[in-house]
Structure 1
Amino acid sequence: MPPEQQPSARPTPNIAVWGAPGSGKTTFLAALNIALILKKGPWKVVGADGPSRDFLIEMTSALSEQQRFPDATLALGQYKWFLTRQIEKRRWPLGRKSVQSERIGLDVLDAPGGFYSAKRASAPTSREELLNNLQGSRGIVYLFDPIREHKVGDAFSYLHGVLTELAGRMLTGNRYAGDVLPHHLAVCVTKFDELKVLQTAEKLGLLAPDPDDPFGFPRIDDDYAEELFEQLCGISRYGNAKMVVPALKQHFRHDRIKFFVTSSIGFYLDNEKGAFDPDDPQNLVPTARPAAGEAGTATSPGSGFQIRGPVHPINVMEPMVWLGRRISAERPAGETRG
C-alpha cells in the first residue's frame, strides 16, 4: 500500500460558520471533538496547526471537564482541521483486506456574530475579511437560534445584509449557473435541548429515539428538520424569521441545502438512571448559588445559566461530515483527494 499522504499546512475545503451573536458558533465547533469521541465511530478530528490543536484541547476541556461554555468570539478565528477515518476494503479477485484512509480537510472560519450585522457595526477591514472568507469557502454551516429569535428576533437582519453583498460579489459577470451561489449549505436549528424547542418538536410528532443510542435521547430525522425550522420561525419576535428560509433558497441551489436539528450540550442524563428521562430533560438550567462548602457547576459567562451535567452533543458532527463529503466529491480533477 502506498505511504499515507501527510496533512498540508492549509487543508481544503473551507467551511464557514454563520449565525447571529449568541447562536452558539464557537460552542458548536468546540462540541465537534466531543461528539466524535462519544460516537465511538471511525471519525476523529485532528488539528493541522498549533492554534487549531490548542483550540481543540482548551474547548474540549471547557465543555467536558469544566462544564462551561467557551468565551464569545471577539475576533475572526480560523481553525484548520482534518476529519479522518480508516476504511477496511477487500481487493478482488484474491479478497485480501487493505486499510485506506479517508480524509476531509476543514478550514473553518469562526467570526463574531456582529460581523454579520446589516448595520455594519464592525470595522470595515473585518467585514471585508469576513466576505472574502465566505466567498472563498465551499461550505457554510448556518446556525439558527430559535431561543434568541423568540427574544430578540434578529436572525434575518444578521443574514440578509451579508447574503446580499456575497451574492453581488460572486454573481457579477454571470460566473455561476442560474445566478445562485455555489456553496453547500448546512442549515442547523440549534439548542434542541431547550424545553421550548423540544416541546414544539413533540407537538409536531417529529421526535423519534435513535435505536443505536443506548441512552434513548430524542432525535429528529433530518428529513423533518426543515419542518421544525419553519414552525420555530413562527415564534419570531418581529416575524422576520419567516423570510430566512426563502432567502436561503433564493440564493443557494436547493440540492445543496440540507437541514439539521442540533444541540452542542445535549440533554441531561442522570448517571444513576443511565437513560434519558423525558420528565427531566434540561441540561442548561438557571444559575444557582451553591451553599457554603459546596462546589458549584461552572457557568456560562454572564448568562445566568449553567451546564447541569455531562455534555452529549446531538447532530454536531453530521453537518460537518456531510459538507466535507459533498465538497470533496466535486473537487476539480487536479486537486488532491483525502
Structure 2
Amino acid sequence: MTNMRNGRRTALDAGSGRSQPNIAMWGAPGSGKTTLLAALNIALLRQPGSWSIVGADPASTGFLTDKTTALSRDKVFPPATQVLDNYNWFLVGQSEQRRARWFRRSRTARAHKIGINLLDPPGGVFGNRQGVTSQQELLRNLVQSRGIVFLFDPIRENEDGDAFEYLHGALAQLAEQVIAGADTTDGRLPHHLAVCITKFDDYKVLETAKRLRLLTADPEDPFGFPRVSNEDGKELFQELCRVSASGNADMALNAIDRFFHKDRIRYFVTSSIGFYVNPRTKVFDIDDYENLVPAVFRTASGQPTSGAKFANGVRIRGEVRPINVMEPMLWLGQQISTP
C-alpha cells in the first residue's frame, strides 16, 4: 500500500508498505533550509564512505539533480521555499559495529536503508505571514516525526532577532498535540532534535568560535578546514544568542532544553558551501577563506554591475565543500531507525 498525495508518495515505502521514519525541518525565513537540502547530496558525494542518498519519487530525484547542479556548477543558491515541499529519500550505507566476543574484539558492518520523509516548509510558516493550511500540515508532520532539524541562522538573528518566534510557535503547538494528551509527567517531547547552527563560513561566526577557542581540525581533512565539535556546538550557540537583535534568542535555547530530552539533542555547526580553497595551494587559508563574495560584473562599457541571477547580489566564489551537513541527517536517521 502506498500513501499518495497529489500523485506522490509520502511517508510510506511502496516496497514494504511500512511507515518510514520521518524527519521534519523548520527555521526562520532565510535560515538556509533549502540550501542545506541541496548541499546534502554534495556532502555525501564528497565524503569517503558508503553513504548515498536516493530519491524515492521523481520529484525528490529531480530536486537532487537540479539543486546539486545549481549549487555546485552554477554557484547559485536555491530560491527560498514558497510552498510546503515534501521530499522522500533513502539514506543508504553501512556503519561499523564493534563487538567483544571471547576476549576478542571484532568489527562487523551493518547495512542501513533509512527512509526519510523530509518536509521543507516556508520559513514563516509559524509566524504571522503564512496561511493556516501550511501551518497545520507542518504541525501534523512534526507530530508524526521522530526526528527534527532546526536551523539557527546567527547572521539573521543578529539582524532580525526572530529565531525564538519561529521555534516557540512550533513547539507550543507541538507540545499541545503530543504532551497534553500523553501519559507523561516530564513534559518532554519524544523526538530527537538536531540543532544546526548555519553559516559557519561567515566571518562573524568563525571569529566568534575562534575567540571562544572552540576551533579544531580533523587530521584526516586534506584541506585543514576548521571545525567546531558537536560537543562544543551548544557553547557557540549560547554565545551567538547573546547578540540577538531582539534579545530573545536565549529563550530559544531554554525552550529546547525544556521541551526535549537532554540525550536526544545534538548541536551541529554547519556550512552549506564551506570555505574557499585556493586551487593552487588546496588548503585552508585563514587570511583568504570567504567563499561568499559580492557578485560584481562589468558592462560592455566597463561599468560595474551586480549579477542579476545571483540571490542578494552575492555569489559562491569557489568549490562547494559542505561542512557538517550530512552528519545531522545521518545521526537522526540512525537514531530514529533504531527500534
Same fold (TM over 0.5): yes
Q: CA deviation at 1:100?
A: 5.8
TM-score (norm 1): 0.88
Cross-structure match for 1:307: 316
Cross-structure match for 2:123: 113
Cross-structure match for 2:6: none
Is residue 2:247 matched to residue 1:239? yes
* Matches of 2:51 and 2:301, distance apart in 1: 42
Q: CA deviation at 1:11?
A: 6.2
Q: CA deviation at 1:40?
A: 2.0
Q: SS where residue 51 of structure 1 aligns?
A: helix
* Matches of 1:248 and 1:49, distance apart in 2: 33
* Matches of 1:283 and 1:9, distance apart in 2: 44
* Matches of 1:166 and 1:258, distance apart in 2: 19
Q: CA deviation at 1:104?
A: 1.3
Aligned pair partner of 2:112 in 102, 107, 120: 102
**Residues 9, 59 of structure 1: alpha-carbon distance in 2 compared, 3 angstrom cutoff:** farther
Deviations 1:212-235 (A, max 9, x none): 100111111111010000000011
**8 Å Cα contact 1:139/1:323 also seen in 2:** yes
* Matches of 1:219 and 1:308, distance apart in 2: 20
Aligned pair partner of 2:47 in 36, 39, 61: 39
Cross-structure match for 1:334: none
Cross-structure match for 2:335: 326
* Matches of 1:68 and 1:297, distance apart in 2: 14
Cross-structure match for 2:281: 273
In structure 1, runs of 5+ residues without a counterpart are 332-338
Deviations 1:65-101 (A, max 9, x none): 11110111111111111111146899x99xxx99763
Taking every aligned residue pair, what percent have the same amino acid on both sides? 52
**8 Å Cα contact 2:295/2:307 also seen in 1:** no
TM-score (norm 2): 0.88
Is residue 2:91 matched to residue 1:83? yes
Work out the number of aligned pairs and report it. Answer: 320
* Matches of 2:88 and 2:334, distance apart in 1: 16
Cross-structure match for 1:133: 141
**Residues 239, 100 of structure 1: alpha-carbon distance in 2 compared, 3 angstrom cutoff:** closer
**8 Å Cα contact 1:266/1:312 also seen in 2:** yes
Is residue 2:192 matched to residue 1:163? no
* Matches of 2:177 and 2:96, distance apart in 1: 44
More strand by share: 2
**8 Å Cα contact 1:17/1:142 also seen in 2:** yes
**8 Å Cα contact 1:33/1:45 also seen in 2:** yes
Cross-structure match for 1:336: none
Cross-structure match for 2:4: none
**Residues 214, 124 of structure 1: alpha-carbon distance in 2 compared, 3 angstrom cutoff:** same
Cross-structure match for 1:147: 155
- Of the structure 1 ranges 238-247 and 8-17, higher mean CA displacement relative to structure 2 is found in 8-17
- Of the structure 1 ranges 172-181 and 60-69, higher mean CA displacement relative to structure 2 is found in 172-181
Is residue 2:22 matched to residue 1:14? yes
Q: SS where residue 132 of structure 1 aligns?
A: helix
In structure 2, runs of 5+ residues without a counterpart are 1-12
* Matches of 1:310 and 1:8, distance apart in 2: 39
* Matches of 1:216 and 1:170, distance apart in 2: 44
**Residues 104, 87 of structure 1: alpha-carbon distance in 2 compared, 3 angstrom cutoff:** same
* Matches of 1:255 and 1:290, distance apart in 2: 53
Q: CA RMSD in A?
A: 2.7
